[in-house]
Structure 1
Amino acid sequence: MNDTLLLKCRRLFLRGLSVQANIGIHDFELQAAQRIVIDVDLYVSFAATSPKDDRIDEVVDYDFVRAVVHARIAQGHVNLQETLCDDILTRLLEHTGVMAARVSTRKPDVYPDCEAVGVEVFRAKPGVL
């Protein structure tokens, strides 16, 4: 992680959001929704989101993060975790206060001999890094 980014931003996070999603390319994945677990880190500008009056409208609300994830899941089937991460990242970065974000997804129930398979993507707005 870029130390300069950490000096300019606070990091908000959402850990372990477990959802049922239609995702995958294998026959067994196409038959039913499966559990995926999503983690999000948002790097939010101090200048844009330092609360002066201790009000939720002065910061990036965690509800926004959850809503973005749930809205993308509700859109329907996606083949790849890479696509899902990219879609979620694109929407999160549309928020004016968000300078950069990291999204990871993992499918914990695909293979019996491993904890999970997953993808992690980090992206920053142009000019941030």
Structure 2
Amino acid sequence: MKPFFSPEDHIVVSLDEVCVNISCGLHPWERHPERPTRLMVSVRLYAPLLTPRAADTPIIDYDVVRQRILDLESDGHIDLLETIADLIIDSCFQDLRVTACSLSIRKPDIYNESRGAGIDVFRTRARWSEGR
């Protein structure tokens, strides 16, 4: 089986726990626009580190991904967290140097006895490109 990454060095750019309030979910009680669901989104962008020093590498701008997450608030109702993940992943691969990304989406207020419910996704550019 071919590994996800070459054995080269990588830089991982992180964006942690971006909080957005959107209308999402399949349950009837999740479909009230006046009571949006709070989501916590974390993203990791993986890119080859082509220089001996990380400081000499051109930056990966995570603001594009951050803005896409914030824009979810104006996208209307979305049933599935998986759909939200796909929208965010599309923004991750706008920078051609990003070879893979991972993201975590949590609904922290969904269950009283839990810190949150949600999904984690890891996607490579090669696999993402197949679905385009």
- What range is the shorter-chain TM-score in? 0.7 to 0.9
- Does the aligned pair in 1 maintain the 2:65–2:91 contact within 8 Å? no
Mapping for residues 13-24 of structure 1, pairs under 5 Å:
13-24=14-25
| TM-superposed deviation, 1:95 | 1.8
- How many Å separate the matches in 2 of 1:93 and 1:9? 16
Q: Percent identity?
A: 27
Runs of 5+ in structure 2 lacking a partner? 128-132
- Does the aligned pair in 1 maintain the 2:43–2:101 contact within 8 Å? yes
Aligned length in residues: 121
Runs of 5+ in structure 1 lacking a partner? none
Name the TM-score, length of structure 2 as normaliser. 0.78
Equivalence for 2:130 = none
Name the TM-score, length of structure 1 as normaliser. 0.80
Q: CA RMSD in A?
A: 2.4
Equivalence for 1:39 = 42
Higher-helix-fraction structure: 1
- Does the aligned pair in 2 maintain the 1:68–1:92 contact within 8 Å? no
Runs of 4+ in 1 over 3 A off after TM superposition: 2-8
**Cα deviations by residue, 1:17-70 (Å, 9 ceiling, x for unpaired):** 11111111112111121111001000023249x665x8xxx3112322211212
- How many Å separate the matches in 1 of 2:122 and 2:60? 18
Mapping for residues 1-129 of structure 1, pairs under 5 Å:
4-5=5-6, 7-31=8-32, 32-47=35-50, 52=56, 58-126=58-126
- How many Å separate the matches in 1 of 2:61 and 2:123? 20
